[in-house]
Amino acid sequence: MHRAIKLLLVCIFAMIYALPARNMDNRPYVIIVSLDGFRWDYLDRGIAPHMQALADEGVRALSFQPAFPSKTFPNHYTIVTGLYPQNHGLINNRFANPYSGAVYRLGDTSAVRNDYWYHGETLWETAGRNGMKSASFFWPGSETRLPYKHPTYFKHYDGSVSHKERVDGVISWLQLPEEQRPHLIFLYFSDTDTQGHRYGPDSQEVNDAIRLLDKQIGYLRQRLKDIGMDRIVNIIVLSDHGMTNLNPDGVINLGKILAGEQVKMDGYGPLVQIFTRNSRQTVRLYHLLQEKANGFRVFLREEVPTCWHYSANPFLGQIILVADLGNTFVKTDREMQSYMDRKPKGDHGYDNFALDMHGFFIAEGPAFRQHYRFGTMLNVDVYPLVCKILGIIGNQKIDGKLERVETLLK
């Protein structure tokens, strides 16, 4: 008799643990997936059925406008802070503190994990402050060393980790016991950006990357269904910026234009800033560059267009140079040779009002309207939108505005 009761209890417990994960306290879930360099119109190529289905069922923005400059780290950090780069600190993928000489550079593990560079409050910090756990699989800016400045669970970036492992990692977090489970999760893929740089946005390689990433979105949705969470999780799929074709004749050698000048140039690609020695040199070089400005624009720091929300950062140089769409800067003959050896076909980082620089935004889940189309969305507005969905109190000193995007929600 006792043995029969014991066997019955074992069976009951086995059935309980076999049940799909449940949202016992009814708190919302949000998964944000970033597809780096996925341009606003890639979805219209008819080769991403899983993402198209998600967009058809939920909401889709006509385009997703990045902050200036339209670079990877600045925009990923804008998305999670609701701040423009001039305010959150990451003004480029690579830049220097002109006072200390310290350099921030994508790919430099020490710099990327140094909390010194990151200002504002991220969504994962906000979640933690509200008693909610978070997790990140490779989101830029999530690896800082200070415990309160990174998600509850996070992975150090490793590009060799397969797409399947990343999605399975997200699912494993959602299968944790309720008290340990994150309700805000970030996931990152780089394929469309990598292939866009190498082969250009109109290439077969980019189309192959779109198909590959679409399979990951389909796999993620299927795995959520497998664990019984497909109807309680809000999925946001977005990108940090778009991509444009490079002009083969659009390489601008600043080293030749400024030959003999004792200045420091910082930046690369479409955006370079110049640090001059004194105000007299600033004025002289400004006029020189204006005369030579074929294929690029020249601004004094105080002249940078206000719509870029960029000029207030103290690390900017006295002169800012921005290449026209498809052109690129090199600072030395050595850089020119390196560029010609690599022969990249695509780039980003240009004026964020250029449509080629726009990314995409689609979302589906219990918080979102169904079959809804939106106009151009600003990526700075994601932070207040996610705070609203999760029911958490966000940082009020942000540039994003909930009223611009609240219509996306039910």
Q: Which residues are catalytic?
A: 72
Report d(CA 197, CA 217) in Å as an integer. 23
Convert 331-352 to b/e letters by CB count within 10 Å (16 or more is b).
beeebbeebeeeeebbbbbbbb
A 10 A CB-CB count for 59 gives 24
The SS3 of residue 376 is strand
50 phi and psi, to 5 degrees? Answer: -70, -45
The one-letter amino acid code at 18 reads A
Closest C-alpha to 232, from 12, 2, 15, 30:
30
Strands (E), 46-183: 59-65, 94-96, 103-105, 134-137, 153-155
Closest C-alpha to 64, from 344, 409, 311, 408:
408
Cα 166 to its chain centre, rounded Å, is 17
Terminus-to-terminus CA distance in the chain, angstroms?
55
SS3 sequence of 67-93? CCCCCHHHHHHHHHHCCCHHHHCCCCC
Report d(CA 66, CA 379) in Å as an integer. 6
Cα angle vertex 220, ends 347, 208, to 5°?
A: 40
Contact at 8 Å (CB) between 376 and 61? Answer: yes
